[in-house]
Amino acid sequence: MMTATKPISSAGGVEVLGIDLSAPPKDAGELVELFDQHGLLLFREQPMTKAVLLAASRMFGEPLVHLLGHNNDREVPEVAVVSTRGRDGDIEAKDPDELVGRIEWHTDQAYTPSPNRATMMWAVELPPEGGETGFVDREKVYEAMPASLRDRIDGLHVVQSWRKAQAEIAKNPNYATDEGAKMLQLDRFPDLSYELVQRHPVTGRKVVHAPPMWSSAIVELPGDEGTALLDEVMAFSLQPHFVYWHRYRPNDVVLWDNWRFMHAASGTKGRYRRLMYRTVLKGGAVMGVPLDPAESEAAEKRYRAAMQSARAEAV
């Protein structure tokens, strides 16, 4: 079998043609190769079910029950419900004209030492405007970087901060309606140190890791110099020619390499419904080290206490 593909943007990614994910090929090797090569695959016109999404995900790795848990599907826990109406479809935005679901550029799970390898999204219900996912190929970013900037960031480490994301989310009042925002308010994850230039564990190619949602400082350069360098790397990474915003059609399925692409959500007006089902696939590579092991333990204790009181409230 030779699977046909066509590019989906000048910033990267390919559409995979002639594949029915509800009757996947016995040998997924070629699809896995395409995934490793391009890092962003689009499958159009894939009417499916949560069970089919889960089975299709298994071609590329081991689906995880997401550690945050707030939007895990009640029947198929490996599938997350990504919805403007909350997991059970009963949450209304406070202001119908304000954005809901806008999420800053990030990679998934960089607040943990071992982020997931990949994320698969199935578009079920789409708003008439907004609701796009943005993608940036951080490998292309590194390739395009001038040697002068590469030299300045080589060997440095970047702080990945859950608290930075909390502070950003608190600025958006419509997020207060979102279960995810409530979950983000938990003081759960300690700051981690990540390499600013990583080697992709599968492809071996270099990738710039400075996702704006989590990246708060450069470990070796505390203070203004580090902040300025981090801002420069982020601004370089988000130049328009690196950015692709995917406008979904119903039954699009998108799979991206979370170790290579960063992504963002444009959000949509609170009045509109948007429903996606998502899986995340296990990584296994250790990329982050706690900056302060004592803080790591304290954070775990705070998280357990917060979860206990959240359960008490739920009952």
- The distance of closest approach from Cβ of residue 2 to Fe ion in the complex, given in angstroms and rounded to an integer, is 32
- The distance of closest approach from Cβ of residue 24 to Fe ion in the complex, given in angstroms and rounded to an integer, is 24
How big is the chain by its Cα radius of gyration, in Å?
19
Cβ proximity to Fe ion, 208 vs 213, nearer residue: 213
Cβ proximity to Fe ion, 108 vs 137, nearer residue: 108
Pick out residues in 135-154 that bind Fe ion (CB under 5 A): none
- The distance of closest approach from Cβ of residue 123 to Fe ion in the complex, given in angstroms and rounded to an integer, is 15
CA 216 to CA 230: how far, in whole Å? 8
- The distance of closest approach from Cβ of residue 175 to Fe ion in the complex, given in angstroms and rounded to an integer, is 14
What mask, x for binding Fe ion by CB under 5 A, covers residues 271 to 300? ------------------------------
CA 23 to CA 285: how far, in whole Å? 30
Distances from the Cα of 103 to the Cα of 100, 146, 185, 298, angstroms: 9, 29, 15, 28
What mask, x for binding Fe ion by CB under 5 A, covers residues 54 to 93? ----------------------------------------
Pick out residues in 193-222 that bind Fe ion (CB under 5 A): none
260, 181, 69, 81: CA torsion to nearest 10: -80
In terms of Cα–Cα distance, which of 261, 256, 276 is closest to 180? 276
CA 41 to CA 116: how far, in whole Å? 17
Cβ proximity to Fe ion, 156 vs 165, nearer residue: 165
257 scored as a contact of Fe ion (CB under 5 A):
no
Ranked by CB distance to Fe ion, the top (closest) residue is 108
- The distance of closest approach from Cβ of residue 228 to Fe ion in the complex, given in angstroms and rounded to an integer, is 27
Pairing of strands 40-43, 14-16: parallel
Residues ≥6 apart with Cβ < 8 Å to 256 = 13, 39, 40, 41, 118, 119, 135, 263
Count of residues in contact with Fe ion, rule CB under 5 A? 1
Phi, psi (rounded to 5 degrees) for 312: -60, -40
Cβ proximity to Fe ion, 108 vs 195, nearer residue: 108
- The distance of closest approach from Cβ of residue 263 to Fe ion in the complex, given in angstroms and rounded to an integer, is 6
- The distance of closest approach from Cβ of residue 220 to Fe ion in the complex, given in angstroms and rounded to an integer, is 28
Pairing of strands 118-125, 275-281: antiparallel
Cβ proximity to Fe ion, 108 vs 252, nearer residue: 108
In terms of Cα–Cα distance, which of 88, 125, 104, 291 is closest to 184? 104
What mask, x for binding Fe ion by CB under 5 A, covers residues 100 to 129? --------x---------------------
Cβ proximity to Fe ion, 66 vs 269, nearer residue: 66
Q: What residues make contact with Fe ion under the rule CB under 5 A?
A: 108
